[in-house]
Amino acid sequence: MINKDKMLFALIMGCAYALIGVVQTVTGISKALSEACGTVYQEHLIADTLFIPADIIAGLILILIGSVFLYGVSEIRAGVREGIAYVYVGIILSLIFGGIYVLAATGELLEIHLLKNAEYTGWTLLDTLRPEIYMGMLSLLTYLKWKDSFEVGEG
Amino acid sequence: MENRKIRVALAGNPNVGKTTLFNTITGSRQHVGNWPGVTVEKKTGVRTYRGYEIEITDLPGTYSLTAYSMDEIVARDYIIEEKPDIVIQIVDASNLERNLYLTTQLMELETEMIIALNMCDLALERGDKLYINKMQEILAAPVVQTVASKGIGINELLDRVIEQKHDEKYHGREIGYGDLIESKVLEIEKVLLTDPELIKKYPMRWMSIRLLEGDSNVRAKIEKSAAAEAINELLASIDQEEYEAEIADKRYVAINAIFPQICTRCNVRLTKSDMIDRVLTNKYLGIPIFLALMWGAFELTFAFATPFTDMIERAFVWLAVNVSSGLEPEWLASLLGDGIIGGVGAVLTFVPNIFILFFLLSLLEGSGYLARAAFIMDRLMYKIGMHGKSFIPLLMGFGCNVPAIMATRSIEDEKDRLITLLVVPFVSCGARLPIYILLAGAFFGRQAGTVVFFMYILGIVIAVISAKLLRTTIVKGRPAPFIMEMPPYRVPTLRASVVHMWDNGAMYIKKAGTVILLGVVIIWSLASFPWGIEYGSEESYVGMLGHLFAPLLEPLGFDWRMTVALVFGLVAKEIVVASMGVLYGVGDNPEALTASLVADPSVTALSALSLMVFSLLYMPCVATLGVIKKETGSWKWTAFALAYGVAVAWMMAFLVYQGGRLLGY
């Protein structure tokens, strides 16, 4: 039963990470191409709504995290009890990358409020928001709920 | 008084928490040096406890006491020749079975031994049940449970040390090797006993067993003995390889008999550490996850450090303006403003980046992940002709190439070691980071972290290609197989990570006050003379020097200033940035070096990228060349490392710059 909950969670997170990652990578590529061709880059509606930046590498990493979750789903579905390990590591990766961007946002806030850096004029908290942060928050909540239940017993 | 002094040696497998235990016991009373005649690090420390002065020596981590690596020879020679009062073997309680192999060998050295059963918390958390009394009885040595990272069991361990010094409660045990081997051992012992010098210095049974196992280091010890001839005759009549295998086999038989009596697993289940391993060492996901984590480290190094580097930059601009304005004579103002503050300041600006990167790397190391990284990369390393163990020196090279080259001593095979040693300088050390940060920050905006990450990847790729090239041409052969133990995952302690970060970062600050300071004064002098010319102009000595070398580097997109910076960077890579700080005269300029570079029409994003590539590869610094000479003992290989590096750097920078131009950048 517990594994069923975790499998469902991993399925949702895996798909979300993979989809957002694809959007992030594709927008990253289209932005790079626009810059190379000297044309104006048009922001995509989905990317804009979900605070997805145009960032190829970060997008590939989101796809990787999604793959870890989905690999876990496939193992659990196949009856491999250790598949739960992929859900656990998927959450940890999600927390690590969420943490990285929270710290990066802290750096930007220091630039705005402490150093009054002109480069950041008009910058708001929403400008620092990106999928790694809000997806990481979801993982944090889940981790706090399930942290003691990630074990694979002898069975 | 002498009776109140106890000499203790710490022995154990790698990654069992030996250094943590050493640090916990000795605190700041430590001395770090080298073992005589070799470059294996020697750490000693003192602890006063219950009126006793306990001197502790941290021996190199080894899996056994054979003679396959310098670490093993150093560890056992210390125990045999220096005869410490007590040897504490630190045993990983969560990996007991494997650690017992070393125990069986230490037992043969006839030394007073105590076993510190470290990381007990992990073993107990996993559900292991440890029978301490039984263990003491079977191994004939006191056993103390410790958790070094939390300071648990340390006082009890020191109590046992004092007790053991005065009361030899336990008497040694030996492994029996069966009738055939035992008769040979006795035969050899009989011959050895004819030499009183050998009796005084070495345990006879141990020496006989090692000779039977074909230990070349032990054979060298008896070379001058009167017993040598008889021993050689005796050994010539047997197949030593067969004996070696049989002796190892008997040790494992003993371990298999001991293990179930001292530890039972009441609940076999996957721990969180096992679960993480299952994913991080996955055939398909392992390498991408490793790359993602490294990229994350560089991204954070860049993003989080920016406000702190800005603060330091502003402080130096303020300092330069206030120190040099109105100061007489004019040359002194220029020396302080343009030279010292501009040059050293340009380097110190990047201290936050360096410290953050080292902190993140120490977190990865402390968590046990870097040991997995070596495991993940082993298959790839073997394919390209490198030994699996080579990955550790390559990783250490991210900090500084000098200790990384020294670390190649743990690679037993001379050819494997030579290849690793020659390619380590391509791994991007901390000294090169300021160059990337300066140029990537100036020309690549928010993608700067990614550009820096790719510089590190490029270094690894070039190292790997070079290794393959060397393996298939000059240093032919196949790499030896390797076994590596993976420590359990741990939450790294903040203290250990900060200490590690400081150890590496402080070296950088120290350099800024010594070699870099000297470098900037020399560059400033060359930029100011002959008298009467405009500071840092093409007519100055530095301008002449730049123009002398410029034709060689012009195809790579470098102007004379960059050329000068690279020439001085031969001493230490940080001087490349310091030179630019001096040559762009940013000391008394409110605009920082970054802005000056962007404003310079001769520096473009493409030439900046080419400069980063050249700086990464062009030549190891003087200290690295020195250690290559020392470790290879050959000027030929040192010259090869130098010439090969410059040639590769020139070709790669040429490809980047001219290729980029062809593509229209």
- How far apart are the CA of B267 and the nearest CA of chain A, in angstroms? 7
A118 contact residues in B (CB cutoff 8 A):
none
| Subunit contact B278:A82, Cβ cutoff 8 A | yes
Give me the half-sphere count of Cα atoms (radius 13 Å) on the Cβ side of residue B536: 22
| Subunit contact A64:B280, Cβ cutoff 8 A | no
Asked if B32 contacts B19 with a C-beta cutoff of 8 angstroms, the reply is: no
Q: Is A152 exposed, middle or buried (0-12, 13-18, 19+ CB in 10 A)?
A: buried
Three-class secondary structure of residue B126 per DSSP: helix
Mean pLDDT across the stretch B120-143?
A: 84
A96 contact residues in B (CB cutoff 8 A):
293, 296
d(CA B494, CA B473): 46
d(CA B199, CA B226): 13
d(CA B367, CA B15): 11
- Domains of chain B with CATH codes: 2-166 (3.40.50.300), 179-265 (1.10.287.1770), 288-478+498-662 (no CATH)
Three-class secondary structure of residue B265 per DSSP: strand
| Subunit contact B296:A97, Cβ cutoff 8 A | yes
Say what the pLDDT of residue B275 is.
Answer: 84
Residue B424 CB neighbours (<10 A): 28
| Subunit contact A111:B292, Cβ cutoff 8 A | no
**Residue type (1 letter), B605:** A
Share of chain B above pLDDT 90, in %: 19
Q: Which pLDDT tens digit goes with each residue over B525-542?
A: 888 888 778 777 788 888
pLDDT band at A10 (very low <50, low <70, confident <90, very high): very high
Q: Which two tokens stand for residue A79?
A: 């009856």
Asked if B354 contacts B432 with a C-beta cutoff of 8 angstroms, the reply is: no
Mean pLDDT across the stretch A105-123?
A: 82
Which of B272, B314, B318, B452 to mutate: most A Cβ within 10 Å? B272
DSSP B564-591: HHHHHTTT-THHHHHHHHHHTT-TT-SS
Asked if B407 contacts B400 with a C-beta cutoff of 8 angstroms, the reply is: no
Chain A / chain B CB contacts < 8 angstroms: 86
Q: What are the backbone dihedrals phi and psi of residue A53, each rounded to the nearest 5 degrees, phi first? A: -80, 160
Provide the mean pLDDT of chain B: 83
Asked if B4 contacts B53 with a C-beta cutoff of 8 angstroms, the reply is: yes
- Name which residue leads in pLDDT, B38 or A36: A36
Say what the pLDDT of residue A155 is.
Answer: 37
Q: Which of B118, B133, B68 lies closest to B88, judged by CA?
A: B118
Which of B270, B290, B314 to mutate: most A Cβ within 10 Å? B270
B267 contact residues in A (CB cutoff 8 A):
153-154
Q: What secondary structure, in 3-state letters, does B391-424 show? A: HHHHHHCCCCHHHHHHHHHHCCCHHHHHHHHHHH
**Any chain A CB within 8 A of the CB of B315?**
no
Q: Which pLDDT tens digit goes with each residue over A24-39?
A: 999 988 887 887 677 7
Q: Which two tokens stand for residue B61?
A: 């981590």
**Any chain B CB within 8 A of the CB of A151?**
yes
Q: For residue B152, what is the DSSP state?
A: B
Cβ-Cβ contacts under 8 Å for B537 (sequence gap 6 or more): B543
No. of H helices and E strands in chain A?
Answer: 6, 0
| Subunit contact B306:A111, Cβ cutoff 8 A | yes
A57 contact residues in B (CB cutoff 8 A):
295, 450, 453
Say what the pLDDT of residue B77 is.
Answer: 87
- Answer yes or no: is pLDDT of B333 > 90: no
Say what the pLDDT of residue B239 is.
Answer: 84
Q: Which two tokens stand for residue B491?
A: 């939450």
Which of A88, A109, A113 to mutate: most B Cβ within 10 Å? A88
d(CA B367, CA B357): 15
The strand pair at B41-49 and B52-58 is best described as antiparallel
Q: Which two tokens stand for residue B304?
A: 């989080």
Give me the half-sphere count of Cα atoms (radius 13 Å) on the Cβ side of residue B156: 14
**Residue type (1 letter), B423:** V
**Any chain B CB within 8 A of the CB of A68?**
yes
Tokens 């656990």 belong to: A88
Q: Which residue of chain A comes nearest to B306, CA vs CA?
A: A107
Asked if B193 contacts B204 with a C-beta cutoff of 8 angstroms, the reply is: yes
First to last CA, chain A: 14
| Subunit contact B278:A85, Cβ cutoff 8 A | yes
Which range among B1-15, B103-117, B327-341, B637-651 shows the weakest confidence by mean pLDDT?
Answer: B327-341
pLDDT band at A19 (very low <50, low <70, confident <90, very high): very high
Chain-centre distance for alpha carbon B166? 38
| Subunit contact A152:B289, Cβ cutoff 8 A | no
- How far apart are the CA of A75 and the nearest CA of chain B, in angstroms? 12
Which range among B5-19, B24-38, B54-68, B485-499 shows the weakest confidence by mean pLDDT?
Answer: B24-38
Say what the pLDDT of residue B170 is.
Answer: 57
pLDDT band at B28 (very low <50, low <70, confident <90, very high): low
Chain-centre distance for alpha carbon B479? 21
Kindly tell me the sign of the dihedral angle through the C-alpha atoms of B64, B65, B69, B71.
positive
| Subunit contact A57:B267, Cβ cutoff 8 A | no
DSSP B450-482: HHHHHHHHHHHHHHHHHHHHHHHTTS-S-PPP-
Residue in A64, A86, A111 closest to B307 by CB: A111
| Subunit contact A103:B303, Cβ cutoff 8 A | yes
Which range among B126-135, B231-240, B316-325 shows the weakest confidence by mean pLDDT?
Answer: B316-325
Cβ-Cβ contacts under 8 Å for B237 (sequence gap 6 or more): none
Which of A29, A115, A128, A147 to mutate: most B Cβ within 10 Å? A115
d(CA A147, CA B515): 51
- Answer yes or no: is pLDDT of B510 > 50: yes
d(CA B137, CA B355): 48
Say what the pLDDT of residue B579 is.
Answer: 83
Which of A93, A106, A132 to mutate: most B Cβ within 10 Å? A93
| Subunit contact A61:B278, Cβ cutoff 8 A | no
Angle at which helices B560-568 and B515-528 pack, to 10 degrees?
140
Asked if B128 contacts B263 with a C-beta cutoff of 8 angstroms, the reply is: yes
- Answer yes or no: is pLDDT of B617 > 70: yes
Asked if A111 contacts B308 with a C-beta cutoff of 8 angstroms, the reply is: no
Q: Which pLDDT tens digit goes with each residue over B175-213?
A: 888 888 989 999 999 999 998 888 888 889 999 999 998
Residue in B269, B274, B295 closest to A154 by CB: B269
d(CA B235, CA B231): 6
Residue in A104, A114, A117 closest to B300 by CB: A104
d(CA B561, CA B576): 10
ipTM of the complex model: 0.93
Beta bridge partners of B9: B57, B87
Say what the pLDDT of residue B590 is.
Answer: 42
- How far apart are the CA of B304 and the nearest CA of chain A, in angstroms? 5
- How far apart are the CA of A115 and the nearest CA of chain B, in angstroms? 7
Which range among A25-34, B86-95, B243-252, B567-576 shows the weakest confidence by mean pLDDT?
Answer: B567-576
Chain-centre distance for alpha carbon B295? 21
Mean pLDDT across the stretch B493-497?
A: 85
Asked if B607 contacts B557 with a C-beta cutoff of 8 angstroms, the reply is: yes
| Subunit contact A82:B270, Cβ cutoff 8 A | yes
Beta bridge partners of B45: B30, B56
- How far apart are the CA of B298 and the nearest CA of chain A, in angstroms? 10
Beta bridge partners of B42: B33
Cβ-Cβ contacts under 8 Å for B452 (sequence gap 6 or more): B298, B301, B302, B433, B436, B437, B440
Q: Which residue of chain A comes nearest to B360, CA vs CA?
A: A100
Say what the pLDDT of residue B637 is.
Answer: 92
Q: Which two tokens stand for residue B446?
A: 């928010």
A104 contact residues in B (CB cutoff 8 A):
299-300, 303-304
- Answer yes or no: is pLDDT of B546 > 60: yes
Which range among B77-86, B294-303, B389-398 shows the weakest confidence by mean pLDDT?
Answer: B389-398
Q: Which two tokens stand for residue B155?
A: 């006082």
Give me the half-sphere count of Cα atoms (radius 13 Å) on the Cβ side of residue A8: 5
Q: Which two tokens stand for residue B232?
A: 């050689």
Q: Is B392 exposed, middle or buried (0-12, 13-18, 19+ CB in 10 A)?
A: buried
Residue in B279, B305, B450 closest to A57 by CB: B450
Count of residues in chain A: 155
The four Cα atoms B493, B499, B500, B505 give a dihedral, to 10 degrees, of: 140
A58 contact residues in B (CB cutoff 8 A):
299
d(CA B92, CA A22): 44
Say what the pLDDT of residue B34 is.
Answer: 56
**Any chain A CB within 8 A of the CB of B457?**
no
Q: For residue A107, what is the DSSP state?
A: H
Q: Which residue of chain A comes nearest to B266, CA vs CA?
A: A154
**Any chain B CB within 8 A of the CB of A117?**
yes
Q: Which residue of chain B comes nearest to A114, CA vs CA?
A: B307
d(CA B9, CA B458): 42
The strand pair at B143-145 and B128-130 is best described as unpaired
Which range among A26-35, A118-127, B440-449 shows the weakest confidence by mean pLDDT?
Answer: A118-127
- Name which residue leads in pLDDT, B4 or B157: B157
pLDDT band at B588 (very low <50, low <70, confident <90, very high): very low
Say what the pLDDT of residue B353 is.
Answer: 84
Mean pLDDT across the stretch B387-407?
A: 76
Report angle CA B557, B597, A40 to the nearest 5 degrees: 85
Provide the mean pLDDT of chain A: 87
Say what the pLDDT of residue B665 is.
Answer: 76
**Any chain B CB within 8 A of the CB of A119?**
no
Residue A96 CB neighbours (<10 A): 17
- How far apart are the CA of B587 and the nearest CA of chain A, in angstroms? 21
Q: Where are the domains of chain A?
A: 2-149
pLDDT band at B484 (very low <50, low <70, confident <90, very high): low
Distances (CA, A) of B309 to B3, B263, B505: 55, 53, 15
| Subunit contact B306:A107, Cβ cutoff 8 A | yes
- Answer yes or no: is pLDDT of B266 > 50: no
**Any chain A CB within 8 A of the CB of B307?**
yes
